[in-house]
Structure 1
Amino acid sequence: MTQERSNPLFHENLYRPVYELNKAYASLAAGVVTFTSSVIESEGHIGMVGFGITTILTAQCGHYTLKAIPLVKRQCKIFFNKIEFEDIKAIRQEHMAKENILNQNNKKKGNNKIFIGNGFEWGVEHANRSYQIQGLYSDKQEVKLPLFLKPFVKKWRKETLKLGGKPWIDGVGDAERQYVDAETFFGHSMIMGNVGTGKTTMFILLSLAMIHKGYTVIVLDPKNDSSWRKALQLEMEHFGKGEHFHYFHPSKPSTSCTIDPIKNWNRPTEIAERIASIMVESGKEDSFIRFNWNVINSTVNAMLYAGIQPQIKSIARYVTTGKTALTQKCLERHYAKCLGEDWETQLSAKMSSFGKTRLEQMLNYYQQVISQQHQSPEVDGIIQLLTHNAEHMQKMTANLLPIFSVLTSTPMDELISPEEAIAESLDARDEDTRYDTAESESIDYTSNHIEGVSKKSGKIREKDSRYVDTSDIVENGGLLYMALDSLSDTKTAGYLSKLVLADIAAVAGSRYNFSEGRGRRVAVFVDEVHAAIAGNDALLNLLAQGRAAFMQMFIATQTKADIEAKTDPATANRVLGLCNNFFSMRANDTSTQEYASSQFGEVPITSQQITLGQSSGNTNDMTDFGSSYAERLTQQNDKAFNESLLGSLPILQYVARLADGRTIKAKVPVIQR
């Protein structure tokens, strides 16, 4: 075959009547007739001549049969398709799961390959075959299956129709087990496909592989797919890690774990950024969002200054009804810092002239006296909010209050603002360090610092066994499965996606800044990512820089248009560009089809032109007649994978462009236990 392909006149034609099979039938029939007639003529004995001819005909039958079998198999794939299954035990063995999970240092041992399905690398020959089949009639009458296969046709066709699409797309190649190196996924992966085409099955295959490699796994599943959740939970239990499987579900508060999505941060402004990003729709910001960002940021800074741990529930309370109380706490703390703990005794004679109420006195004395030498940005910020025109404030925060209402309603208040009643104080923080400009840059204002101070001051928290800290699970391993219940509450699911992804990004930032990117590798799976992408810079940062923090993203959506609708075409292209691996199941969206096709590039497509001609003269001479026949082979570059094929893929099949340079067409197997 290699020598044939080197011939410039070579043209592969696999989709034709199997003439070799007809020759085999004829040789077999001739052999039987020869053998029978020879026996009859020799009265029960076959002569040497008859034996020789029969042997030759039998050998000829075998020869043509061997040539026909590959063609018959290839042509059967045009018409039939089936679901493929994989035993979880075999996959564990291939991934060397036991060795990887027991290795706490997460170092590579043995092979580092990951199984991604059965398929083949799409090349020039497959592109040419696909164009050939597209040139056949719709009923493929040019290809006729052998008679002996007719009894099986009905059984095979039933499963083929269930999977839908065009089975021949997978039939143009010879499927083999496809593996990728684990490092291939370090550059993030995008999975696209219509509803019900196999994205979740692909996620199950990949997330199980991440468990087998000993990675921390975080899943954001808007649908709460029971098959995905159970597959991961059973796998964790199989390796004795069942207690490290954490399940979050807003509709099941009694059994759900709790999580604080704004606990981890490197700068206080990140908290305001996370909450304000929820307000962004279609990727557009406006003056209202910037104003609300300032309101949240000033409130958070004041809370930290007063020694209060920011949580969504507490932030909502202080933004809406608690500004007066928070202002008073900040002023009391500032007075104590500047004048000492006995400041009330020192100022008892002066304060009465600065107002009627205690708050008025403290506020006016601060603005007129203390701020001249000891000004505090945190105190100034909360005072500005308190004294702002109430009517204007209500108008500007009209979009923020419904968000707080959603995130603090029952049971969300307990699920994402856990341990609200426990005040984690910052009182033990060293005052001199707080104001020492030489050391201020090295101060750690993260919530981990707050916890440490709480322990120093004797307020040791008894952690709820259901509470999960993103930082802990990232560094120490485990699996967090968040079912966001988007079917019943789309907005809340989108809010949670944005908040949790921002929390993960903060942990990644801390790891990158303070651990030089070292640590346990983390795999984050986000389904329906378009719901969390609008205004979510944290997600884009994870895609752009997460690799440096040993984090890899697996994100999925239905079409490219879904991302564009929530952001804009430029952002959609940026997201796709940041994902070095692209997988696509069946997609009917034109922009998705065009993008997938472009990943395969162009290849030379061979086309055959046949010319027939006839001519006759005006004379009566019988030789005054002519005819001609000509064949012409031409090659022209065309798309290796035509856009229309993506809309015709059967269920559980995909095409992929991988970071290692390969373009693959494969099937996703269903995992069996």
Structure 2
Amino acid sequence: MTQERSNPLFHENLYRPVYELNKAYVSLAAGVVTFTSSVIESEGHIGMVGFGITTILTAQCGHYTLKAIPLVKRQCKIFFNKIEFEDIKAIRQEHMAKENILNPNNKKKGKNKIFIGNGFEWGVEHANRSYQIQGLYSDKQEVKLPLFLKPFVKKWRKETLKLGGKPWIDGVGDAERQYVDAETFFGHSMIMGNVGTGKTTMFILLSLAMIHKGYTVIVLDPKNDSSWRKALQAEMEHFGKGEHFHYFHPSKPSTSCTIDPIKNWNRPTEIAERIASIMVESGKEDSFIRFNWNVINSTVNAMLYAGIQPQIKSIARYVTTGKTALTQKCLERHYAKCLGEDWETQLSAKMSSFGKTRLEQMLNYYQQVVSQQHQSPEVDGIIQLLTHNAEHMQKMTANLLPIFSVLTSTPMDELISPEEAIAESLDARDEDTRYDTAESESIDYTSNHIEGVSKKSGKIREKDSRYVDTSDIVENGGLLYMALDSLSDTKTAGYLSKLVLADIAAVAGSRYNFSEGRGRRVAVFVDEVHAAIAGNDALLNLLAQGRAAFMQMFIATQTKADIEAKTDPATANRVLGLCNNFFSMRANDTSTQEYASSQFGEVPITSQQITLGQSSGNTNDMTDFGSSYAERLTQQNDKAFNESLLGSLPILQYVARLADGRTIKAKVPVIQR
């Protein structure tokens, strides 16, 4: 075949009647007739001539049969499709799961491969075959299946119709097991496809592979897909890691773990950025969002200054009804820092003339006297909020308050605001902040879940063992499965996605800054990513720089248009550009089809032109006529994978452009236990 392809006149034509099979039938029939007639003529004995001819005919039958079998198989693939299954035991062995889980840094040469399905690398020959098939009639009447396959047609067609699409797209190549080096996925991956085409099945395959490699796995699943969750939980339990599987579900608060999505940060401004980003829905900020950012930031700074744990519930309380109490706490702490613990005794006589209430006296005395030598930006910020025009404040924060209402309503208040004290977090962040936490007596412990605090170590003993810290999981391993329940509450699911991704980005930033990017590999899976992308710079930063912190993203959405609708075309292209691996199931959206097709480039497509001609003269001579026949082969560059093919892919099939340079067409197998 290689020699044939080197011939400039070579033109492959696989989708035609199988003449080789007809020749095999004729040779077999001739052999039987020759053998029978020879035996009859020789009265029960076959002569040498009859034996020789029969042998030749039988060999000829075998020769043509061997030539016909690959062609018959290829043509069967035009009509039929089936679901492929993989045994989880075989996949564990291929991924060297046991060795990797015991040693997450295991990188044996040649063994760091990840199985991604059965398929083939799409090339020029497959492009030419696809154009040939598209030139056949709709019922493919040019291709006739052998008679002996007719009994199987009904059985095969039932499963083919169930999977939908055009089965011949996978039939143009010879499927083999496809593997990807684990390093390939460090460049992040985007998965697109219509609803029900196999994105979750693909996620199951990839997330199981990440477990087998010993990585930390974080899943943000808006739908709470039970098959995905059960597959991951069962795999963790199989390797004796069941206690490291953490399940978050807002609709099941009694069994759900709790998580503080603003626990980890490198600068206090990040907290305000996370909450304010929730307000961005169209990808653009406005003056109202910037004003609310300032409100949140001033409140958070004041809370930290007063020694109060910034959590969504506590921030909401101080932004709405607690500004007076927070201002008083900040002033008390500031007076104690600047004038000593006995400041009230020293200033009681002086402050009496600065107002009627204790707060008025403290506030006015600070502004007129103390701030001249001991000014505090944290105190100034909260005073500004307290003294701001109430009517204007209410108008400007009108969009912020509903967000706080959603995130602090039952049961969200307990699930994402576990009310931890701030003792150890403030002590640990002395290097990153300018807040003095030496005086632990002034710290406000408001949590009902805290048994006690060791002032010497700053460690907190919690009653609720379900609490999960993103930083702990990232560094120590485990699996966090967050079912965001978007079918019941789309807004809350989108808010949680943004907050958790920002928390992960903060952990990545801390790892990069203080651990030089080293640590356990982390795989983050985000389904329906378009719901979390609007105004979410943290997600874009993870895609742009997460690799440096040993983090890899697997994100999925239905179409490119979904991302554009939440942001803009430039941001959508940026997200796709930041993902070095692109997978696409069936997609009917034009922009998605065009993008997928462009990943395959162009290849020379061979076309055959046949010219027939006839002519006759003006005389009565019988020979005064002419005819002509001409064949012409031309090559012209065209799309290797036509856009329309993406909309015709069967369920559980995909095309992919990988960071290693390959463009493949493959099937996603269903994992069996």
Name the counterpart of 1:304: 304
Structure 2 Cα separation of the partners of residues 90 and 433 of structure 1: 51
TM-superposed CA distance for 1:618, in Å, is: 1.9
Secondary structure of the equivalent of 2:480? Answer: strand
Instruction: Spell out, residue by residue over 1:631-657, the C-alpha distance to the aligned partner (whole angstroms, 9 max, x if none).
Output: 000000000000000000000000000
Kept in 2: contact 1:100–1:108 (CA 8 A) = no
TM-superposed CA distance for 1:258, in Å, is: 0.2
Secondary structure of the equivalent of 1:421? Answer: coil
Q: 1:442–1:390: structure 2 CA closer, same or farther, 3 Å change rule? A: closer
Kept in 2: contact 1:509–1:549 (CA 8 A) = yes
TM-superposed CA distance for 1:460, in Å, is: 3.4
Kept in 1: contact 2:430–2:436 (CA 8 A) = no
TM normalised by structure 1 equals 0.96
Secondary structure of the equivalent of 2:178? Answer: strand
Secondary structure of the equivalent of 2:141? Answer: coil
TM-superposed CA distance for 1:377, in Å, is: 0.2
Kept in 2: contact 1:424–1:450 (CA 8 A) = no
Structure 2 Cα separation of the partners of residues 538 and 445 of structure 1: 30
Name the counterpart of 1:124: 124
Instruction: Spell out, residue by residue over 1:582-609, the C-alpha distance to the aligned partner (whole angstroms, 9 max, x if none).
Output: 0000000000000000000000000000
TM-superposed CA distance for 1:33, in Å, is: 0.7
Q: 1:420–1:404: structure 2 CA closer, same or farther, 3 Å change rule? A: farther
Instruction: Spell out, residue by residue over 1:647-672, the C-alpha distance to the aligned partner (whole angstroms, 9 max, x if none).
Output: 00000000000000000000000000
Q: 1:76–1:665: structure 2 CA closer, same or farther, 3 Å change rule? A: same
Q: 1:428–1:43: structure 2 CA closer, same or farther, 3 Å change rule? A: closer
Q: 1:118–1:432: structure 2 CA closer, same or farther, 3 Å change rule? A: closer
Kept in 1: contact 2:308–2:445 (CA 8 A) = no
Q: Which stretch shows the higher mean deviation, 16-25 or 421-430?
A: 421-430
TM-superposed CA distance for 1:465, in Å, is: 1.1
TM-superposed CA distance for 1:452, in Å, is: 13
Structure 2 Cα separation of the partners of residues 233 and 450 of structure 1: 29
TM-superposed CA distance for 1:424, in Å, is: 7.3
TM-superposed CA distance for 1:106, in Å, is: 5.0
TM-superposed CA distance for 1:450, in Å, is: 14
Q: 1:86–1:444: structure 2 CA closer, same or farther, 3 Å change rule? A: farther
Q: 1:441–1:324: structure 2 CA closer, same or farther, 3 Å change rule? A: closer
TM-superposed CA distance for 1:126, in Å, is: 0.3
Name the counterpart of 2:290: 290
Give the % identical residues: 99
Q: 1:539–1:454: structure 2 CA closer, same or farther, 3 Å change rule? A: farther
Q: Which stretch shows the higher mean deviation, 447-456 or 7-16?
A: 447-456
1:567-646 matches, cutoff 5 A: 567-646=567-646
Q: 1:430–1:485: structure 2 CA closer, same or farther, 3 Å change rule? A: closer
Q: 1:621–1:452: structure 2 CA closer, same or farther, 3 Å change rule? A: farther
Secondary structure of the equivalent of 1:196? Answer: coil
Instruction: Spell out, residue by residue over 1:7-35, the C-alpha distance to the aligned partner (whole angstroms, 9 max, x if none).
Output: 00000000000000000000000111111
Structure 2 Cα separation of the partners of residues 484 and 365 of structure 1: 49
Kept in 2: contact 1:313–1:420 (CA 8 A) = no
TM-superposed CA distance for 1:456, in Å, is: 2.7
TM-superposed CA distance for 1:550, in Å, is: 0.1
Q: 1:388–1:99: structure 2 CA closer, same or farther, 3 Å change rule? A: same
TM-superposed CA distance for 1:436, in Å, is: 10
Q: 1:446–1:90: structure 2 CA closer, same or farther, 3 Å change rule? A: farther
Secondary structure of the equivalent of 1:218? Answer: strand
Name the counterpart of 2:177: 177
Instruction: Spell out, residue by residue over 1:329-357, the C-alpha distance to the aligned partner (whole angstroms, 9 max, x if none).
Output: 00000011111111111111111110000
Q: 1:542–1:243: structure 2 CA closer, same or farther, 3 Å change rule? A: same
Kept in 2: contact 1:265–1:447 (CA 8 A) = no
TM-superposed CA distance for 1:435, in Å, is: 7.8
Structure 2 Cα separation of the partners of residues 659 and 538 of structure 1: 23
Secondary structure of the equivalent of 2:455? Answer: helix
Kept in 2: contact 1:218–1:481 (CA 8 A) = yes
Structure 1 Cα separation of the partners of residues 463 and 103 of structure 2: 28
Secondary structure of the equivalent of 2:462? Answer: coil
TM-superposed CA distance for 1:462, in Å, is: 2.4
Secondary structure of the equivalent of 2:145? Answer: coil
TM-superposed CA distance for 1:461, in Å, is: 2.8
Structure 1 Cα separation of the partners of residues 15 and 306 of structure 2: 78
TM-superposed CA distance for 1:128, in Å, is: 0.3
Secondary structure of the equivalent of 1:660? Answer: coil
Q: 1:599–1:408: structure 2 CA closer, same or farther, 3 Å change rule? A: same
Kept in 1: contact 2:250–2:411 (CA 8 A) = yes
Q: 1:240–1:389: structure 2 CA closer, same or farther, 3 Å change rule? A: same
Structure 1 Cα separation of the partners of residues 181 and 222 of structure 2: 29
Q: 1:404–1:128: structure 2 CA closer, same or farther, 3 Å change rule? A: same
Q: 1:79–1:668: structure 2 CA closer, same or farther, 3 Å change rule? A: same
Instruction: Spell out, residue by residue over 1:280-323, the C-alpha distance to the aligned partner (whole angstroms, 9 max, x if none).
Output: 01101000000000000000000000000100000000000000
Kept in 2: contact 1:424–1:451 (CA 8 A) = no
Secondary structure of the equivalent of 1:641? Answer: coil
Kept in 1: contact 2:423–2:440 (CA 8 A) = no
Kept in 2: contact 1:425–1:453 (CA 8 A) = no
Instruction: Spell out, residue by residue over 1:143-164, the C-alpha distance to the aligned partner (whole angstroms, 9 max, x if none).
Output: 0000000000000000000000
TM-superposed CA distance for 1:103, in Å, is: 1.1
TM-superposed CA distance for 1:420, in Å, is: 5.5
Query: Where in structure 2 are there 5+ consecutive unaligned residues?
Result: none
Kept in 2: contact 1:308–1:424 (CA 8 A) = no
TM-superposed CA distance for 1:419, in Å, is: 3.0
Q: 1:40–1:131: structure 2 CA closer, same or farther, 3 Å change rule? A: same
Q: 1:663–1:286: structure 2 CA closer, same or farther, 3 Å change rule? A: same
Secondary structure of the equivalent of 2:263? Answer: coil
Secondary structure of the equivalent of 2:630? Answer: strand
TM normalised by structure 2 equals 0.96
Kept in 2: contact 1:222–1:493 (CA 8 A) = yes
Instruction: Spell out, residue by residue over 1:535-564, the C-alpha distance to the aligned partner (whole angstroms, 9 max, x if none).
Output: 000000000000000000000000000000
Name the counterpart of 1:448: 448
Q: 1:454–1:560: structure 2 CA closer, same or farther, 3 Å change rule? A: farther
Name the counterpart of 1:226: 226
Name the counterpart of 2:21: 21
Query: Where in structure 1 are there 5+ consecutive unaligned residues?
Result: none
Q: Which stretch shows the higher mean deviation, 15-24 or 95-104?
A: 95-104
Secondary structure of the equivalent of 1:523? Answer: strand
Q: 1:446–1:558: structure 2 CA closer, same or farther, 3 Å change rule? A: farther
TM-superposed CA distance for 1:581, in Å, is: 0.1
Structure 2 Cα separation of the partners of residues 428 and 39 of structure 1: 99
Instruction: Spell out, residue by residue over 1:97-151, the C-alpha distance to the aligned partner (whole angstroms, 9 max, x if none).
Output: 0000011555557610000000000000000000000000000000000000000
Kept in 2: contact 1:337–1:431 (CA 8 A) = no
Q: 1:669–1:371: structure 2 CA closer, same or farther, 3 Å change rule? A: same
Q: Which stretch shows the higher mean deviation, 108-117 or 166-175?
A: 108-117
Structure 2 Cα separation of the partners of residues 289 and 269 of structure 1: 14
Structure 2 Cα separation of the partners of residues 498 and 548 of structure 1: 21
Structure 2 Cα separation of the partners of residues 671 and 431 of structure 1: 48
Instruction: Spell out, residue by residue over 1:389-409, the C-alpha distance to the aligned partner (whole angstroms, 9 max, x if none).
Output: 000000000000000000000
TM-superposed CA distance for 1:617, in Å, is: 1.5
